[in-house]
Chain A
Amino acid sequence: MRFVAACCLSFVLTTAGFASAVRADDPALDAVLARMASTAGVETAFEERKELSLLSEPLDSHGVLYFVPPDRFARFTLHPGFTSLVVEGRSVHLREGRDGEDTDLSGNPVARLFTEHFVALWSGDRAKLEHLYAAQLQGDLTDWELRLVPRRAPLAGVLDAITLRGDREAVREMIVQERDGDRTVTRFPEANGDRVFSAAEIERIFTQRTPLRGASAGR
C-alpha cells in the first residue's frame, strides 16, 4: 500500500502546480477557480527544487509546461536530463531521455488518478477537490495563497500539505510538503495564462511530444 500511496503522492506533486481550491462559501476561491477554468491555455517555464531526505543537497531542475483546455497537459524537464510527461484525456505518456522509450502509463491507476485530479482542477470541479482536500485561501484574486490538506488516506498518510501561490494571471509557486520531510518547491516565473496554441503547436507538443522551439522556458 505504501507503494501505491507514494505513487499517488508523486502524481499529486506533479499536478499540484495548477491546483486551486476550495471552500464552498468563499467567493475569492470561486474567482480563482473561474480564472483557472477560463484560461485559453498555459505556457510556462518552471524551476523546481527538491529537498529529498535521500540527497545531501537539493536537486534542481527546470523545464517547461503546457496546458490546453480542457484536458491536455505536457511537462518537459530539460535539465538535468530530458523527460517528458504528456497527458491527453486519460492517456498518459512518459519518456525519459530524448531518445528514450515512450512508456504508456494510461493503464496505471496512479496515472489515472493523476488525470482525474488534473481535469478536476482545471474544470473547476469543486466537489471533487473538496472530497480530497481541506482548503484554506488567503488573499484575493490578485495575490492569493491556497493551502490544501489531504482529508484521508492514502494521500494523508504521506502528504502534509500542498501550498499554491498565485495572482490574477496564474499560479506562481507550488510547495509540496511530505510527512517524511521531503519538500518540493516549483516556481513558474514566466507563466502565460492566456496562451493560444496553434494546431501545429498542439501537434508538436501532444503528438510529437516535443517542447516548442523557442519556448520561453528553454535554456
Chain B
Amino acid sequence: MLGRRSALALIAAALAMAIYSGLHLRVGTDITNFLPVGSRSELAALSSRLADSPLTRTIVLSIAADEPAVAIAAAHELAEHLRAHPEVAWVRSEVGATDLEEVYRLYFPHRLALLSDRPEQELPVRLSDAELRARARELRQRLASPASSFFEPLVAADPLGAFEARVRSWQERETTLRMVDGQLVTPDGRFAILLLGTRSSAFDSGSQGRLLADLETAFDAIVARRGAGLRLERSAVGAFAVAAERSIKRELVWIISGSAIGVTLLFLAFVASARGLVIVVLPPLSGILVAVTSSLLVFGRLDGLTMAFGTSLMGIAIDYSNHLLLHHGLARPPESPLRTAARLRGSLVLGALTTVASFVGLLLTPFPAFRQMAFFAITGVLTSLAASLWILPTLLARAPALPARTRVAAAHFDRAYRHLERLPRRWLFAGLALCTASAIALPAVEWSDDLSRLTRFDPALVDEDRRVRERVEQLDGSRFVIALAPDYDTAVARNDEIHARLEAVAETGALDSTRSLHALLWSPELQRRNLDVLAALPDLTQRLDAAFRAEGFRPGAFAAFADALAGPPPAPLRLGELLASPLRDLFAPFVFELGDRIAVVTYLRGLHDPGAVRAALADLDDVHLLDQRSFVDDIYREFRETSLRQILFGSGLVLLLLALRYRAWRPVLAAFVPSALVALVVLAVLAGLREPANLLHVMSLVMVIGMGVDYGIFCVDSVGRGEEFGATLLSLLLSCLTTALVFGTLSLSSQPSLRAIGLTTGVGILLSFALAPLSVAALRERPADRNARG
C-alpha cells in the first residue's frame, strides 16, 4: 500500500508532467513522419527531406476581380503586407528595378564566359566571319528600333549580345506567367499571381495556420477597401496540413467525448460509483500522461495520429484496472486489494508483456510516426500496468462495493461459460474452424499503398489548389531530377550535365521541357571553357571589327569589347555569390541545402518516358529522377509487407512468452488462438466489404492481436485457477466494450486513417471477446482428456 509521502510524490510528479505537457504539447500532421528515416536508402532520406523543403514551402496566391486592374492593385497591396510578415521568407510578384541592376552588376562582367553552354561546338561557328557579319547586320537594324534603348548603351562592350541573351534567359524563367503593370499575371491576364515562401515547414500547421489566417484578414481588408469582386485563391501544401489538423482536432474532441460518455455509462452500470470509475480510469490516464510527457521529451512533438492513438490507449490500458476492480469486488470470500493484485499479477504482467511484444517490432521501423505510436503504446501500457499493480490497491481499499447487478451479471456469464464448456467439443471446434476458414478470403484482400488515401481533404480545398496550379501551369512538383553535391560548384557542374542530357532527351519527345538553374547560372568550368575558346581565337577582335565596319559601324567602336577580351578574365560567377546577393530568391526553387549537401532541382514538364530520363542520367553520380509519389507508395508497400511479416514475428514472440509461462500446449493455444483468428476474420471482412486494406489496417491488427492475447491469457488464467470465471468475463466485456466504444468512434471519423484503425480494432476486439471463452472451452483439458492420457 502506498504511504502518504509516496502518494504526495506521485501527485506532484503527475502535476509536473501535466504542466510540462500542457506547455509543450503541439500536435502536428507532418507527412514526413510517415516517411522512413535512416540510411536505408538515399532516396528515402532525400524524399523525406524534400517533403520539407522550399518545394513544399512555396505558396501560390491567385487574385481575381471584376476588373483585372483591381486584381493587380490588390496583389500589389497584399504583396506589401506579406513582405512585412514574420512568417514570410520571400514574396515574388514582379521584377523590380533592384533586380535589373543586380543582374547587370553581377552578370555583365562575366558576359564573355556566358556566351554558350556548348562553347566548343557553337562558338567557332558563331564567331566565323560570316556570322559576325550577320550579327553586325542584325545589330544595325535593331539600333533603329525603340528597343535599342535596352542594349545600345551596352553594345560597345558586348557586340556579341551575350549579356542580353542571359537577361532574356533570366527574364523568361517564368515562362508561364507574364507581367502586367509590374505584376505577375496568368497568361490570359485574368488572375494576378503572388508567389511566396514560408519560413516554417509546410507541415508546421501552427505557423501555417497563423499565416493563412493573417493572409485572409489582410485580404478581407483589401476587399473592404476595393471591393469589385475581389477573390483570393491559393495553392499551399500548408493549407492541407492546417485543414487536416483542424479536422483531426475537431474529431478528437468528439472522439474523446464519445468515449468518455460511453465508458462512463458502462461503469455506472457495472461499478455504479463515480469513485469506482475514477479509480479504474486513473491507471490508464497515468499511462497516457506518462506516454505524452515521455514522447514529448523524446520526439519533441506529437503527430496527430499518435495523439489519436494515444487517446485510444484508454481502451487498452483500462483492461488491467477493471480486471482488478471486478475481481476484487466479486471475490468470495472478500479479500484485500493487495491480495487481489497479487493473485492477478501474473496475468496482468503477461498480458502487458505480450502487448509490448506486439509493439516492439514497430519501434524498430524507420517510420517516425510509427515509432512514436509504438513508444507511446509501450510507455502507456507499462505505466498503466505499474499503476494498476502498485497504486490501484491503495485506492481499491476505499472503493465502494459493486452493485448487486454486477454480481448477477457475473453469475450469468459464469453459467453461460459452463454451458459452453459442456457443449460437445466438435461444435466448439466447428466455430473455430469457421473462423479459420475465413483464410480462404485472404487472396481477395485488396491492398492499397496510396499514401494520399490515408488522409481525406476537403474537396473544395483540393479543387481550389488544382485551379490555382493550372493557372500558373505549375510544373509537376512530384517528379523532378535532383542532384546532390558536397559544394555549390560541384552542384552547378552536375546541373550543367543534367541540362545537357535532358535537352537531348527532350529532342526525342520523351520529355516536353525543363525548368532549370541552367537558365540562371553555369558552372565555373563551363564558364572557363567559353574563355578558353575565345582565347584560342587571337584574331577575333580584328575580325569582329572588320565585320562590323563592313556593316556601317565605326572602326574601333568596340574597343571596350577588345579590352575585355585582352584583359585578365574575372573570377567565374559562382552560386555562392548569387545566393548572397539580392537575387537569391530567384534561386530558392532550384537550390537548397539538404542536410550537409547541396541539392539542385530540375523541374520536368510533360514527362512521357521516365525510363528514357533515367537511362540518360544513369551514369551520373548522386543524380536521381524522383517520382516522389510512386516512390513513397513503393516504400509503403514495402513497409506494409514488412509489417505483415512483423505480425508473424510478434506472434512468435507472444507464443514464446506464453510457452514460457504455461509450459503446456493447451493453455498456450487457448490464449493465442483468438488473436490469430481475429486477424484472419478482420482481413476477410475487409475483403468482403471490398474495403481496400492499407498500412493502418495492418498496424491496427498488430494492436488487436496484442489485446486479443490479453483476453486469452485472462481467460486461461482465470479458468485454470478455478476462480469465478464470470468475474473475468464481465471484466473482459467491460474492457471490450470500452475499447470498442473508443475505436468505434474512430471508425466514424472522416479521416480514412482513423477510420481504418477504428474499423479494424473495433471489429477485432469484439471478436476477441467472443473467441476467448470459446477457445478456452474448446482447448481446455477436460477430465476425459486426463483419463484418456492416463
Q: Hey, which bits of chain A sit against chain B, CB under 8 A?
A: 1-4, 6-7, 9-11, 13-14, 48, 50, 52-57, 59-61, 75, 77, 79-81, 83, 85, 89-91, 94, 96, 104-110, 112, 158
Give the residue of B69, B95, B144, B183 whose beta carbon is less than 8 angstroms from that of A80.
Answer: B144
Cβ–Cβ contact A107 & B95, under 8 A = yes
Cβ–Cβ contact A10 & B154, under 8 A = no
Cβ–Cβ contact A108 & B100, under 8 A = yes
Tell yes or no: B179 within 8 A of A by CB. yes
Expressed in whole angstroms, the minimum distance between the Cβ of A52 and any Cβ of chain B is 7
Closest to A57 in B: B552
Cβ–Cβ contact A56 & B553, under 8 A = yes
Q: A53-B554, A57-B552, A90-B182 are in contact. Are A109 and B100 (CB under 8 A)?
A: yes
Q: A2-B153, A4-B101, A109-B97 are in contact. Are A77 and B143 (CB under 8 A)?
A: no
Give the residue of A7, A96, A112 whose beta carbon is less than 8 angstroms from that of B149.
Answer: A7
Expressed in whole angstroms, the minimum distance between the Cβ of B317 and any Cβ of chain A is 62
- Given the complex, which residues of A lie within 8 Å of B146, measured CB to CB? 10, 14, 75, 77, 83, 85, 94
A52 and B554 CA atoms in complex are apart in Å by 9
Tell yes or no: B180 within 8 A of A by CB. yes
- Given the complex, which residues of B lie within 8 Å of A3, measured CB to CB? 100-101, 104, 108, 153-154
The winner among B142, B153, B156, B182 for most chain A CB atoms within 10 A is B153
Q: A4-B101, A10-B150, A109-B96 are in contact. Are A90 and B181 (CB under 8 A)?
A: yes
Cβ–Cβ contact A59 & B144, under 8 A = yes
Q: A7-B150, A14-B146 are in contact. Are A54 and B155 (CB under 8 A)?
A: yes
Cβ–Cβ contact B154 & A6, under 8 A = yes
Tell yes or no: B710 within 8 A of A by CB. no
Expressed in whole angstroms, the minimum distance between the Cβ of A127 and any Cβ of chain B is 22
A85 and B146 CA atoms in complex are apart in Å by 7
Q: A14-B146, A14-B149, A57-B552 are in contact. Are A4 and B97 (CB under 8 A)?
A: yes
Give the residue of B152, B180, B184 whose beta carbon is less than 8 angstroms from that of A91.
Answer: B180
Cβ–Cβ contact A59 & B149, under 8 A = no
A110 and B557 CA atoms in complex are apart in Å by 26
Q: A3-B108, A83-B145, A83-B147 are in contact. Are A104 and B179 (CB under 8 A)?
A: yes
- Given the complex, which residues of A lie within 8 Å of B554, measured CB to CB? 53-56
Cβ–Cβ contact B143 & A59, under 8 A = yes
A81 and B554 CA atoms in complex are apart in Å by 21
Q: Which 7 pairs of residues, A with B, have the shortest CB-CB distance?
A: A10-B149, A107-B179, A6-B153, A61-B144, A109-B97, A83-B145, A90-B181
Cβ–Cβ contact A81 & B179, under 8 A = no
A219 and B145 CA atoms in complex are apart in Å by 17
Closest to B163 in A: A3
Expressed in whole angstroms, the minimum distance between the Cβ of A53 and any Cβ of chain B is 7
A-B pair count, CB < 8 Å, reads 122
Tell yes or no: B148 within 8 A of A by CB. yes
A42 and B499 CA atoms in complex are apart in Å by 50
Cβ–Cβ contact B143 & A50, under 8 A = yes
Closest to B142 in A: A96
A34 and B147 CA atoms in complex are apart in Å by 30
A105 and B181 CA atoms in complex are apart in Å by 9
Cβ–Cβ contact B156 & A54, under 8 A = yes
Cβ–Cβ contact A52 & B152, under 8 A = yes
Closest to B155 in A: A54
The winner among B108, B146, B152, B549 for most chain A CB atoms within 10 A is B146
Expressed in whole angstroms, the minimum distance between the Cβ of B541 and any Cβ of chain A is 16
Cβ–Cβ contact A52 & B143, under 8 A = yes
Tell yes or no: B555 within 8 A of A by CB. yes
- Given the complex, which residues of B lie within 8 Å of A60, measured CB to CB? 144
- Given the complex, which residues of B lie within 8 Å of A110, measured CB to CB? 100, 149-150
Tell yes or no: B141 within 8 A of A by CB. yes
- Given the complex, which residues of A lie within 8 Å of B154, measured CB to CB? 3, 6
Q: A10-B152, A106-B181 are in contact. Are A81 and B145 (CB under 8 A)?
A: yes
- Given the complex, which residues of B lie within 8 Å of A106, measured CB to CB? 178-182
Expressed in whole angstroms, the minimum distance between the Cβ of A161 and any Cβ of chain B is 18
A sample of 9 inter-chain contacts (CB < 8 A) reads A6-B154, A54-B557, A55-B553, A107-B94, A107-B182, A107-B184, A108-B95, A109-B97, A110-B149
Cβ–Cβ contact A1 & B150, under 8 A = no
Closest to B180 in A: A106
Cβ–Cβ contact B100 & A104, under 8 A = no
The winner among A50, A53, A55, A75 for most chain B CB atoms within 10 A is A55
Expressed in whole angstroms, the minimum distance between the Cβ of B178 and any Cβ of chain A is 5
- Given the complex, which residues of B lie within 8 Å of A158, measured CB to CB? 153
Tell yes or no: B190 within 8 A of A by CB. no
Expressed in whole angstroms, the minimum distance between the Cβ of A60 and any Cβ of chain B is 8
A15 and B570 CA atoms in complex are apart in Å by 38
Tell yes or no: B528 within 8 A of A by CB. no
Digit string of B526-567 for contact with A (CB within 8 Å is 1, else 0)?
000000000000000000000001001111010000000000
- Given the complex, which residues of B lie within 8 Å of A14, measured CB to CB? 146, 149
- Given the complex, which residues of A lie within 8 Å of B142, measured CB to CB? 81, 96
Digit string of B155-190 for contact with A (CB within 8 Å is 1, else 0)?
110000000000000000000001111111000000
